[in-house]
Amino acid sequence: MDKKNTKELLEYILFSIVLIEKRFASIHSSDDFLKNTSGLEKLDAISMRLQTIGEAIKNILKTDQSTLLEFTHSEYWSNIVKLREIISHHYIDIDAEIVFEICDEELAELKENISKIIPPTLLSNH
């Protein structure tokens, strides 16, 4: 992911958000992640996408920080990177309730913020 430019990383983030939204559509509580194999697979898949979103943000902050800071404060982006660190290094501690809350309460805001940064007309078709 390091070799991608900011536009490609932003496109990747939006694509990942759309995938998370699709996977999360049938989840109505954190218990839905834990009640069967399908739920656990969704938890794993969503967690992986959240991790890679954090990695993409981390890379943009390294190479083009001003682009992100133009739209919201550094603590906002830092929290996304921190989530990536937790998923990457402490996956065993991942709480289905936290993943549920992120998807239910935070994902739309991230999508809106990323969409403000890169106009839809510049996005590739996915």
pLDDT digit of tens for each residue in the chain (126 aa)? 545 799 999 999 999 999 999 999 999 999 999 999 999 999 999 999 999 999 999 999 999 899 898 888 899 999 999 989 888 886 666 889 999 999 999 999 999 999 998 865 445 544
What single letter denotes the amino acid at residue 73?
H
What pLDDT does residue 87 have?
84
What pLDDT does residue 4 have?
77
What pLDDT does residue 104 have?
97
Does 77 map to a domain? yes
- Predicted TM-score (pTM) of the model is 0.87
Does 126 map to a domain? no
Does 23 map to a domain? yes
| Parent domain of 25 | 6-116
Residue 36: exposure state from Cβ atoms within 10 A (0-12, 13-18, ≥19)? exposed
What pLDDT does residue 71 have?
84
What pLDDT does residue 119 have?
61
Does 30 map to a domain? yes
End-to-end Cα distance, the chain? 18
Does 87 map to a domain? yes
In total, how many domains does the chain have? 1
Does 110 map to a domain? yes
What pLDDT does residue 126 have?
43
List all residues 6 or more positions away from 43 whose beta carbon is below 8 Å from its beta carbon.
33, 34, 94, 96, 99
Does 36 map to a domain? yes
Does 121 map to a domain? no
Determine phi and psi for 117, rounding to 5 degrees: -75, -40
Say how far residue 45 (Cα) sits from the centre of its chain: 11
